[in-house]
A and B are shown apart, each in its own frame.
Chain A
Amino acid sequence: MNENLFTPFTIPMMLDIPITTLIIMFPTMLFPTPNQLINNRMITIQQWLTKLTSKQLMNTHNPKGQTWSLMFISLFLFITSTNLLGMLPHSFTPTAQLSMNLGMAIPLWAGTVVMGFRNKTKISLAHLLPLGTPTFLIPMLVMIETISLFIQPLALAVRLTANITAGHLLLHLIGSATLALVNISLFTALITFTILTLLTILEFAVALIQAYVFTLLVSLYLQDNT
């Protein structure tokens, strides 16, 4: 029990070779390229969903920020597909690894911040001080805002990792509790099973929501700095 609680989160190996890259590349097979005006059903559904999300995500940006739409949509599709594929039994979720999420969060956040500093230096520096602070509080507040700025990528990465990992762990634990309770008391097992069903629905929602939140926050950082 102690060892196999975290084994779903270890690097997937096949014949002692890590195949993480192959598993990360698997969701690309599920998104075929549209090459006609009217495509098959799978592509049509994906196109409709992509259009819906991109409109929702990018309509608050000015044209300069909208050049990032491709980046945001690919990010969103990647996180959604990897999270949803991780809901299948025995599968490996790359987004549950902190290293991967840091690799996604830090460059994107740094990109928005550097862009803001290069193009609108005064305004970016001005963001560090909220409006209407008393004069004697200014130094401390600037430091606090700088710290909160630098914590943004860390928070992005850890939020995604913790949500996905915690969800998977909870599912695993409650599932094994249900199995163990079946022999002891059927009624409690049924209650635990209901909890499990509800949790599974929640996990599917979390998978989608986390992707959305990640992308939304990066777009928010972009908006501040465009």
Chain B
Amino acid sequence: MASIVCVFLHSFSVPLKDKKLLEVKLGELPSWILMRDFTPKGIAGAFQRGYYRYYNKYINVKKGSIAGLSMVLAAYMLFNYCRSYKELKHERLRKYH
């Protein structure tokens, strides 16, 4: 009985490389980051996973709404604002820029 419990406990511990971000303890965070796949294929895989995560949650559903598309457009707008902040800084209504 005790040996069965020991086997179960051992099968519940996942190696560090395969843990998801929210399951990683804070002390293990640097080594977890360094173990990630930073090859071009890995980065492309990460973008693909992220895209399909958003797509399957908000758009590829039976009754998708306008919110799925408008969140993307709002994020695009925010990205462009951050990109052009340097020039927009000068258009503020201040006495001294």
Q: Which residues of A contact B (CB under 8 A)?
A: 4, 7-8, 12-14, 19, 26, 29-30, 32, 40-42, 85, 88-92
Q: Given A12-B83, A88-B73, A89-B77 in contact, is the A4-B90 Cβ separation under 8 Å?
A: yes
The yes or no answer to B28 lying at the interface (CB within 8 A) is no
Residue in B77, B84, B87, B91 whose CB lies within 8 Å of A88: B77
Residue among A4, A41, A92 with the highest chain B CB neighbour number at 10 A: A41
In contact, A26 and B76 (Cβ under 8 angstroms): yes
Q: Which residues of B contact A92 (CB under 8 A)?
A: 80
In contact, B87 and A40 (Cβ under 8 angstroms): no
| Dominant secondary structure at the B interface | helix
Q: Which residues of B contact A41 (CB under 8 A)?
A: 63-64
CA gap between A41 and B69 in the complex, in Å: 11
CA gap between A4 and B88 in the complex, in Å: 9
In contact, A42 and B69 (Cβ under 8 angstroms): yes
Interface size bracket, B side: 20 to 34
The yes or no answer to B51 lying at the interface (CB within 8 A) is yes
In contact, A40 and B60 (Cβ under 8 angstroms): yes
CA gap between A91 and B76 in the complex, in Å: 8
Residue among A14, A19, A32, A90 with the highest chain B CB neighbour number at 10 A: A90
Q: Which residues of A contact B62 (CB under 8 A)?
A: 40
- Contact bitstring B61-82, A, C-beta under 8 A = 1, else 0: 1111000110011001100110
Q: Which residue of A lies closest to B56 (CB)?
A: A40
For the complex of A and B, 3 pairs with smallest distance between CB atoms:
A90-B80, A41-B64, A91-B80
In contact, A40 and B61 (Cβ under 8 angstroms): yes
The yes or no answer to B55 lying at the interface (CB within 8 A) is yes
CA gap between A88 and B72 in the complex, in Å: 12
Residue among B64, B80, B88 with the highest chain A CB neighbour number at 10 A: B80
26 residue pairs of the A-B complex, CB under 8 angstroms, read: A4-B91, A7-B84, A7-B87, A8-B84, A12-B80, A13-B83, A14-B83, A19-B83, A29-B51, A32-B59, A32-B60, A40-B61, A40-B64, A41-B64, A42-B59, A42-B64, A42-B69, A85-B73, A88-B73, A89-B80, A90-B77, A90-B81, A90-B83, A90-B84, A91-B76, A91-B77
In contact, B80 and A88 (Cβ under 8 angstroms): yes
B92 to A: closest C-beta gap in Å: 12
In contact, A30 and B77 (Cβ under 8 angstroms): no
Residue in B68, B80, B83, B87 whose CB lies within 8 Å of A42: B68
Q: Which residue of B lies closest to A7 (CB)?
A: B87
B40 to A: closest C-beta gap in Å: 15
In contact, B69 and A88 (Cβ under 8 angstroms): no
B62 to A: closest C-beta gap in Å: 8
